[in-house]
Structure 1
Amino acid sequence: MMKKYIVTVIGISWLVTGIVFLNPETALNNFSVIMLIPLIITMIFNKADNKKSRNDISILKRPFNLKAMVFSCLYPIFFILTCGFLAVLFTQGVIHLPAKPVTWIVTILVTIFIGLFSALGEEYGWRGYLLPNLTKQYGKKKAVVITGLVWALYHIPTVYLVARLTGLGNPLLVCVVQAGVVFLSNFAFSYCYYLSGSVIPVIIYHSIWNTFNTALLGNLYTGKAGIIDGNIFLINGEGVLGLLLAIVPLVFFWRKYDNGMEREK
C-alpha cells in the first residue's frame, strides 16, 4: 500500500506542477495549490485503510504533548535565527529592521496562523500518514529516510521551475541544494512527530518555518528579500547555509531513533 501511495502522490504532484507552470505568468501565484495534493491523496488512501481495518481514528485526533509543542515552536525559530546570525557574522547579509516592528510581529503571527492550512496540506500526508505507516513496517530509521526522500522528490520540479522563472540561481543547483535541505530537515520534523505521535505539532513547526524563514532570510521561491538582505540562495534556511547547518543536529536525532521511541516521555 505504501509503494502505491508514494507513486501516486509523487506522480500526481509532478503532473499538477507541470500543468501549473505551463503558464509562467501565473505560475508563481498558483503553485501553492501543489501543497494540497498530499492531503487529498492521503484522505483517499486513509479512507481505504479505515474500511479494511474498520478503524476510523482521524489523523488529526491523535493526542500530543507539551514537549512536542515546545519543540515545534522553538526549534525552527532557533535554526533560522542561527542562519541569520551566521550570515551577518560572515558578512553575507545586512540587517534592515522593519520600520514598524509591532506591525511586523503581528503580520508574522497572522501569517503563521494562515500558514497552518497550507502546512496541513503537506503534513497530513508526510508525517500524518506516510511516516507512521512506514514506521510500522520498517522501524523508525528506515521510515525517516524514506519519508525524507519522498518529501525531497515532491519538491524537485517546483523548485527547479521556480528557479528558472525567478533567475535566483542555476536551476539545477538550487534544486539539488533545496532537496538536500528538505531531506535533512525531515529528521527534525520526524523527531517532532515521534515526540507525541501527533501531526499537530509538526503542522505548527512547518508553518513557523515557512513564515519565519521567508520573513527573516528572504523567499527562495519569489526572490523577495527578508529582514536580512543578501544572496537568498546562500543565506536562506532552504539554501546553502541551511543545508550546512542542518547537518549539525543529525547525530542527535539519529540516536533518538535508536531508542525505539514512539513517544518520548
Structure 2
Amino acid sequence: MRSNESSRMAASDVAFAYSATTLLLTALWIALLRHKSLSLLSYAMYFPTIVFIPFGLYTGDFSAFLRTMFIPTSSTVYGLVVGTIYVVVLVFTCAFLSVIVGWGRLVFDSKTLGASSQAVHAHNRNLLLGFLRALGEEIGWRGYLLPLLMSTYSPFVALLYSGVVWFLFHVPVMVLMTRTLAVPNAAVVCLVQGSSCALAAFSFGYVGVVSGYGAWAPGFAHFFMNRLNPVVLGSVYTQTSGMIVGPVWKVNGEGLMGCIVGALLAVWVVFNVN
C-alpha cells in the first residue's frame, strides 16, 4: 500500500484500525500482567510487529513491506548514521542543558557509573534481545504505520498522528510504574514522558523516511536510545538516576528536557521532511 490504496479499505482506515488494535492489545497486556516484572511487560514492544502481520496480509502487500523493511540499501546506511547522530544529540544536549539550568549535576565516580549502568533496563542489557525488542516496535510504527499515514496526510499530520499513537502506547506502562513506585506527581510524570515520545516520533519518523521506511535504521536508533539514555540521564520508568543526577522526570531524554530538545528537533524535521 505504499503506492496505491487497498481496494477494500483506504490507507487512513487501515492506519486507524492498526493503531487501535495495537494500543488495545498493549493496554490489555499491561493490565493483565500488572503484577509481573518490567521485563515481561516489555514484550509488548513486539505487538506493533505482531499486529502488522495480519494487517499486512489483509492489505495484500505483506511481502513488499518485508522486502522494503529488511533488505539493506544505501538509504539504510544513511538512516543508520542519521539515527545515531539524533540519539547522541538528544541525550547529550539534554545532559548539557540540565546542568546549565541547574536541574541536575554531573557525577562521574565509580559508584555513580555502576549505578547508571544498572539504569539500563534488564531486558535491554542483552544486546541482541534489546535490539529485537526495539525492532519489534519500529517494524510496526515506522515500517508499516508511518508510510500509510504519509500516503494519506501531509508530513506534519502524519508525524503528529504517529506521535500521538506512540504517546498512547506508553501510557499503560507509565501509569503502572508510577503507581508501583509511588512516584510523586505521577500524572505529570506520565504526561511528560508521553509527550517526549510524541515529539521523538518526528525524529524517529525522519529516520524512517530517509531510510526508505526500512526497519534497520529506526530499530537501531531506538535500541541505541534505550541503552545510552539511561546511562547518562537515568530511567523515568524505574526512577533510577544516571550520570546526570537530578529529578529524572526533568533531566531525562524521556522527560521534560527531552520534550524541550525533542520539540526543537521536531521543528527541524517538519521543515526538512518530504
Structures share fold, TM-score greater than 0.5: yes
Q: 1:5 aligns with which of 18, 21, 24?
A: 18
Q: 2:100 aligns with which of 86, 89, 94?
A: 89
Match of 1:37 in 2: 47
TM (normalized to structure 1)?
0.86
Q: 1:72 aligns with which of 83, 94, 101?
A: 83
Match of 2:263 in 1: 247
Q: How far apart in 1 are the matches of 2:103 and 2:65? A: 48
Match of 2:139 in 1: 124
TM (normalized to structure 2)?
0.83
Question: Using a 3 Å threshold, how does the CA distance of structure 1 residues 54 and 235 change in structure 2: closer, same or farther?
Answer: closer
One-letter amino acid matched to 1:151: W
Stretches of structure 2 lacking an aligned partner (at least 5 in a row):
1-13
Match of 1:28 in 2: 38
Q: How many Å apart are 1:68 and its aligned residue?
A: 1.5
Question: Bigger CA drift: 88-97 or 141-150?
Answer: 88-97
One-letter amino acid matched to 1:97: F
Give 3-state SS (helix, strand or coil) of 2:254's partner: coil
The 5-angstrom pairing of residues 203-242 of structure 1 reads 203-242=219-258
Q: 2:157 aligns with which of 131, 135, 142?
A: 142
The 5-angstrom pairing of residues 179-198 of structure 1 reads 179-197=194-212, 198=214
Deviations 1:111-141 (A, max 9, x none): 5554211101111110010001121222422
One-letter amino acid matched to 2:226: N
Q: How many Å apart are 1:29 and its aligned residue?
A: 3.8
One-letter amino acid matched to 1:244: I
Question: Bigger CA drift: 208-217 or 165-174?
Answer: 165-174
Q: How far apart in 1 are the matches of 2:227 and 2:49? A: 20
Deviations 1:90-114 (A, max 9, x none): 332232325398xx99xx9975554
Q: Give aligned pairs, total.
A: 251
Question: Using a 3 Å threshold, how does the CA distance of structure 1 residues 110 and 166 change in structure 2: closer, same or farther?
Answer: closer
